[in-house]
Structure 1
Amino acid sequence: MNRSMHLGLRAGERLYVNGAVLRVDRKVSIELLNDVSFLLEAHVMQPEETTTPLRQLYFAIQLMLIDKPNSENAGRIVEGLLASLNRTLDNEDIIAGLGTVETQIGNDRLFDALKTIRAMFPVEERVLAGERSFPRAETHAAAPTAAA
């Protein structure tokens, strides 16, 4: 038996359900009674926001989720982006995250893949800003060494 999903929307907020865009004119509570693909407006990335490699990957996975008739085409784009990112990136946190994303996509957990990518955005920003090490790595590097 499927569990229902309760959503609360504010006036003017959009909900993307199986490729359809719904906008509510007042505060409303919605119960989804069956399995549907949906995204809340806050999680939808617009094309002009795809300014980094991870944001491009996010957008392509988002298309797989909200545009089911074209999900096969978007899936091919996702595969290409993942392969390219795995070849070119050397940040261990992002590479590990991409492995998680691939697993989630393989298990048809597209929303989870989007969450994983969103969590990597700050790391990507630091990498693109040229930071080579992060606080966790600096802690180990700055540890005092024992004098002989």
Structure 2
Amino acid sequence: MTLRISLRDGERVVINGAIIRSSGRTDLAIESKVTILRGREIMAPAEANTPARALYFHTMMAYLDPERIEEHHRQILGLLGGVSRLSTCETGRAAVASFAERAASADYYRALGDCRTLMRLEHDALAGVAEVAELAA
């Protein structure tokens, strides 16, 4: 099955560890199994500044850097406990359970989707805390 992706001018994509930047609008047809992340799915280490974002980063690295998988697994396991304690709503609990299942079966790309859900929930919770703090001040 062929994977087709379109890249905007200057958009980055990582394919099997190689960073590729498009020059002009580019359409790619990927005809074999590869690890691939588009630019908007790539997180820099400095952006991993909350528990859910750190979980995303280390899951992304487990996907892109299989040579250091044991190190990434240790990081993921350490973070998952903290993120799961913060996930008090049904959506958060479901995302943690789905993430754990996918990460355990090395389906890191789909696990990143669960991380995005957890990052949205975390962002909303932090925004709520900031709003309460503002009102109290």
Same fold per TM (> 0.5)? yes
TM (norm. structure 2) is: 0.83
Q: Is the 8 A contact 1:97 1:116 kept in 2?
A: yes
Q: Give the aligned partner of residue 21 of structure 2.
A: 23
Q: Which runs of 5+ in 2 are unaligned?
A: 131-137
**Retained in 2: the 8 A contact 1:104–1:112?**
yes
Supply the distance in 2 between the matched residues of 1:24 and 1:37 (Cα, whole angstroms). 18
Q: Deviations over 1:34-80 (max 9, x none)?
A: 11111000111112211211000000001011122222211221111
Pairing 1:106-125 to 2, within 5 Å after superposition: 106-125=104-123
Equivalent position amino acid for 1:34 in 2: S
Identity of aligned residues (%): 26
Where structure 1 has 5 or more consecutive residues not aligned to the other structure, the ranges are 132-148
Q: Structure 1 length as normaliser, TM-score?
A: 0.77
Instruction: Decide whether the 8 Å contact of 2:51 with 2:82 is kept in 1.
Output: no
- Preserved contact between residue 92 and residue 117 of structure 2 (Cα < 8 Å): no
Partner of 2:129: 130
Q: Which amino acid aligns with 1:43?
A: E
Provide the C-alpha distance between the structure 1 equivalents of 2:87 and 2:61, rounded to a whole number of angstroms.
27
Give the C-alpha shift of residue 90 in structure 1.
5.2
Q: 2:88 maps to what in 1? A: 91
Structure with more of its chain in helix, by fraction: 2
Letter in 2 for 1:130: V
The 8 Å contact of residues 19 and 68 in structure 1, kept in 2 or not, is answered as no
Please name the residue that 2:55 is paired with.
57
